[in-house]
Structure 1
């Protein structure tokens, strides 16, 4: 069975190079992201620091395919102003949990200057140490690839969204759109980051579900996606439409 990342990239490439309309392309891309083909990271925060229930994981963490040993996913939950680091080594395990501060205005980022934090699946493309940063960014900063492909398709604007430290104690929902952490916490998190590989998933709220249920969900999801991909690649329009309609119905129920 193909791993989720390979499936996602193959389907995304096929969709974006096909002759289907731009609106349909956007819809299908959203479907893929909603089904969480990438490992997903949850973030929560200063407001509520309850530990996750034992044996439960975020419902977005479906699968991960590390090549060499453990891999990590960074999750940011805006409702609770918290960053969680999940380690994957056959199973998901919560490794760290930190407070953070996100944009002072609620909602998904849409344009430059709206003081909102984006929501979606992103990757770190660069990192800067203290000597290269203004004091307000603390001791470390990671550049996030916002706006990504889907953001640009949806005409979302803005730039310079970072995960960075601070030269003062952080406060809940107090940034211009970046994700801000205390310097000591960010130093620990930095050990889990590989540029262009470690995902950071930002969402308003994540649901915690029993880890066992994720195994069944993963199997069902992978079977669905592989069949959908096969129908798309082989030109089976009737078969592809069936899967497309099923996704559409699920999104509207």
Structure 2
């Protein structure tokens, strides 16, 4: 007689139950419900263009309810730039919106990351604001009034809109080449002292290039903060020094490897671009010659307005030169404001005394100005005009040639000199 063990009996019972049991159904879906259909997610069309254009296209698609297109665009962007944090946030939002509506970017994220979320929202906002208010192509900046003939390009940073503009010298007229989103200081603009985490306002010049290998050698692991490299600018300039401003190491530079772009206010005072955009701008930078104008807000002019402003600025310098050349003390010294300080530290009183004595010893003088450039800082408390030129001075008892810089400020509609002396770069 065949003996069946206890283990064999249990196995027979289990098989019998499986054969007789009804087919299992999904726990959360009633497939018999005529109103339910299980359909795959639609495949969207990814937007094309620059990373900024595509991140904005994704935001537009979300607002228009075209989630498939938004998903396709964000996925394509992250495939190319896996460290783009704003794109990652949008990707997370798209998943969250399958379960619930969101009132804002990052609405489904953990509140513990409030500060980082606020930074990413600011980045999205400044990018959208710029796109919604683009600079008309026929407008020119009041900040670039005259190029030196040897200056091929100028960099203009609008701190209010977190935007960097690159202009070429088109027969003396600024012509926009391109523009990019940038990051400025954590505490904004108006640098005063070392470590205040603000970006300086003023007219500066690119004065060096620190390649990534050079940065690695000097800073080690900290070099990653500067991305593909750094291009130092001439802060503090002559005006900054006269105002006792301190600090150093203000650079144009790239971004760390861990992030594609940084929030609008995140640097220690530098102007920061994405790595690919920094390399794009770098090809136009001429060491020692390219101006970098950092202004609170760019003033945009029509072509006719710009031409008038250009002529007025050039005439101001010419009139100053003519008055000095003519040995007319009263007319000449009228160009100097009450707050004037010379490169040697003289105030307006001692300057007037010295210049009156010097001019009294002259029988004649002849002054020639060449390589003249004029740039301006606008949007702050006072508009500042910065003129740089080579001055060739000749008289009956002195011949002197120097590179000079002047800082002018507008007082009640009249330009007055606030600083004058040797150009430090």
**2:149 counterpart residue number:** 66
TM-score between both structures, scaled by the size of structure 2: 0.46
Q: 1:54: how far off?
A: 2.4
| 1:250 partnered with 2:413 | yes
Distance (whole Å) between structure 2 residues aligned to residue 147 and residue 76 of structure 1: 17
Tell whether 2:244 aligns with 1:155. Answer: yes
Distance in 1 (alpha carbons) for counterparts of 2:293 and 2:128: 19
Give 3-state SS (helix, strand or coil) of 1:85's partner: strand
Contact 2:143-2:293 within 8 A present in 1 as well: no
- Matching residue within 106, 117, 141 for 2:199: 117
1:141 Cα offset (Å): 0.6
**1:18 aligns to what?**
none
Q: Is the 8 A contact 1:147 1:157 kept in 2?
A: yes
**Which runs of no fewer than 5 residues in structure 2 stay unpaired?**
1-125, 216-222, 338-408, 416-425
Alignment of 1:78 with 2:159, yes or no, is yes
Name the SS for the 2:166 alignment partner: strand
- Per the TM alignment, residue 248 of structure 1 is displaced from its structure 2 partner at its CA by 3.2
- Per the alignment, residue 276 of structure 2 pairs with 184
Partner residue of 2:297 out of 205, 214, 230: 205
Match of 1:12 in 2: none
- In 2: Cα distance, 1:215 partner to 1:190 partner: 29
- Taking the aligned partners of 1:89 and 1:59, their CA distance within structure 2 comes to 15
Distance 1:191 1:225 in 2: 32
Alpha-carbon shift at residue 102 of structure 1 (Å): 0.3
Instruction: Indicate if the aligned counterparts of 2:141 and 2:306 stay in contact, CA closer than 8 A.
Output: no
Moved more, 206-215 or 47-56: 47-56
- The answer for the alignment partner of 1:195 in structure 2 is 287
1:55 aligns with 2:101: no
- Please tell me whether the aligned partners of residues 142 and 309 of structure 2 are also in contact (alpha carbons under 8 angstroms): no
Structure 1 segment 2-13 matched on structure 2, within 5 A: none
Tell me how far 1:140 sits from its aligned partner: 1.5
Structure 1, unpaired ranges of 5+: 1-44
Q: Deviations over 1:99-123 (max 9, x none)?
A: 1100011231000010000000001
1:48 deviates by: 3.2
Partner SS for 2:167: strand
What residue number does 1:107 align with? Answer: 189
Paired with 1:47 and 1:115, the residues of 2 have a C-alpha distance of 25
CA RMSD of aligned residues (A): 2.1
Between Structure 1 and Structure 2, whose CA radius of gyration is higher? 2
TM-score, length of structure 1 as denominator length: 0.75
Give the length in aligned residue pairs.
206
CA distance in 1, matches of 2:214, 2:239: 30
